[in-house]
Amino acid sequence: MLPSCRTAAAAFLAAGVLSAASCAAPAPLPPQAEFVLGTVCSVNLFEGGTPEAYREVFARLRGLEDLLSANKDGTEVDAVNRAAGLGPVKVGPDALAVARSAMRYAGLSGGAFDPTIGPLVKLWGIGSDDANVPPPEAVRGVLPLIAAGDLKIDEAAGTLFLARPGMRLDFGAIAKGYAADEAAKLIRARGIKRAIVDLGGNVLALGSKGFLKPWRVGVQDPAGVRGGYLGILEISDRTMVTSGVYERFLEADGKRYHHILSTKDGYPIENGLVSVTIVAASSTDADALSTSCFALGPEAGMALAESLPGIEAIFVDSSGSVRVTEGLKKDFKLTSPDYRLAP
Ligand code: FAD
Ligand code: MG
């Protein structure tokens, strides 16, 4: 049965996409959602949304999880991690592409973003059943293993190699973005011009809602409940990715420990930011940059975002101040009274 306009609109709202359902157009096939990549992934094809099209997209997302997850046995990333200090591992084009992009952002962020963060992510376990505040000496002990320079990419041989035993790759800060871009490729290849791919808040908007009408996407309120938003962003053929303290955290001893970790001291980063949203053409870039800019902090992070062509950003700090890059001001509207726009 096809959904009523109201049901469809509720689904889009839940996915963070506002007013996407049009009651004038023929009712679209319902959006599909699956738990993949450790989150709820929803895809909405506003045209050409056949069961085969949806199946193909979700099969690709599951396939990428099976290659790129650091949490599962048998993935290519798992094989590279197991061979740390032993030898290079042959991987496919997806893992190579993600590693290449990750290294670019490790460079651009001066190491604040680091795909070899794996030992720290595992030690803290934030978001998993094993989440705990590790003893300071354990944190100090793994810091020398966080070293992007020791991830060796051999493009000709198609291999990845972690040079020292104990090193671990973790693509958690970039692979959802890559997956969104890959989903978009498949959707475009089918000639579909209007779609929303939402991988747990990592939103890629294909085409626009209508003629001269952009999509309207809610920017998550870092202090609010999931689905609550602080403002609305209008985008067409662009992607919006947010990194925030609210996404995954552990509460212990009356303190909150979130999941974006400092490569310098090994602890959740406390720099006054509560979220960074990046708007870009590529979701891989936006995902890597949302984490990179968050990790760099309000000043250096904003400077990095502003230095890159085609990149826009929204930085929210714990005082409720919202800084928006110049190029995004016309597309972003603050709607929550709990926040104020910085000049
Ligand atoms: P982002 O800011 O984009 O990334 C934060 C994540 O990046 C952290 O959770 C950590 O993994 C890593 N990270 C932390 N600090 C840094 C740093 N300084 N530099 C670089 N990276 C850093 N979740 C599950 O619970 N179970 C699963 O089985 C699971 N499988 C996954 C498989 C894949 C392929 C991917 C991409 C994700 C998976 N996840 C899983 C989710 C994952 O563990 C992260 O929590 C998630 O990707 C965080 O994304 P984000 O957009 O919220 O935050
Ligand atoms: Mg990210």
With left for phi above 0 and alpha for psi between -120 and 50, is residue 89 left, alpha or beta?
beta
- The pLDDT, as a whole number, for residue 16 is 43
> Which of 308, 276, 270, 271 has its CA nearest to residue 291?
276
Mutation test residue for ligand 1: of 170, 250, 258, 285, the one with most atoms within 8 Å of CB: 170
Any atom of ligand 1 within 6 Å of the Cβ of 172: yes
Any atom of ligand 1 within 6 Å of the Cβ of 127: yes
Measured CA to CA, the distance from residue 239 to residue 325 in angstroms comes to 16
Global pTM?
0.92
CA 64 to ligand 1: nearest atom:
34
Q: What is residue 212's predicted lDDT score, i.e. its pLDDT? A: 84
Any ligand 1 atom below 6 A from CB of 192: no
Per-position DSSP letters for 27-54, written without gaps between them:
PPPPPEEEEETTEEEEEEESSS--HHHH
Atom of ligand 1 nearest to the CA of 176: 36
287 CA closest ligand 1 atom index? 3
Choose among 213, 207, 274, 282: nearest CA to 241.
282
Ion ligand 2 — residues with CB < 5 Å: 173, 243, 287, 290-291
CA 146 – CA 150 distance, rounded (Å): 9
Q: How far is the CA of 287 from the centre of ligand 2 (A)?
A: 4
- Ranges of the chain whose pLDDT falls below 50: 1-16, 19-26
DSSP string, 226-252: TT-EEEEEEESSEEEEEEETTSSEEEE
Per-residue pLDDT at 306: 97
- CB of 19 sitting under 6 A from ligand 1: no
For residue 12, what pLDDT is reported? Answer: 41
Length of the chain: 343
